[in-house]
Amino acid sequence: MSLSEANNLALHMLRKIDLEKIANRHVNSCSEEDIFLVMYLRAVMSQEKNVILKLPSEILGNLFRIKKLIQNMIDIGINKKIIILDLVSNENYYEGCECNIERLN
């Protein structure tokens, strides 16, 4: 995929979740949630069939809005399996989420 095609696809996905305003921001102007979603978009655009997120709290700082972020990831509409690797102590943050949660001990 060319750089232009990748930029257009990323902008299209950001529009789906009403975040196109972050498309041209520098990383220091973005929230942790914005950075998390952009990292997710980059993973989605790869040729891998699964998206694996390891310890999202290390990126986000906390998991209070993780359900909303997971819903945004689902709303983007890419047909890839989302696998989240996280600690058992964070399990309650993911209750009711529509993705696979793998427990790390």
pLDDT digit string, tens, across residues 21-77:
888 888 888 888 888 888 888 888 888 888 888 888 888 888 888 888 888 878 887
Phi, psi of 48 (to 5 degrees): -70, 150
Q: How many structural domains compose the chain?
A: 1
Q: Is the pLDDT of residue 99 over 70?
A: no
Q: Does residue 102 surpass a pLDDT of 70?
A: no
- Give the pLDDT confidence score for residue 49 in this predicted structure: 85
Q: How many CB atoms lie within 10 A of CB 93?
A: 19
Predicted pLDDT at 22: 82
pLDDT of residue 103: 62
User: Reduced to 3 DSSP states, what percent helix, strand and coil does the chain have, rounded to the nearest 5?
Assistant: 50, 15, 30
Domain range for 16 is 3-104
With the C-alpha atoms ordered 90, 74, 100, 47, is the resulting torsion angle positive or negative? negative
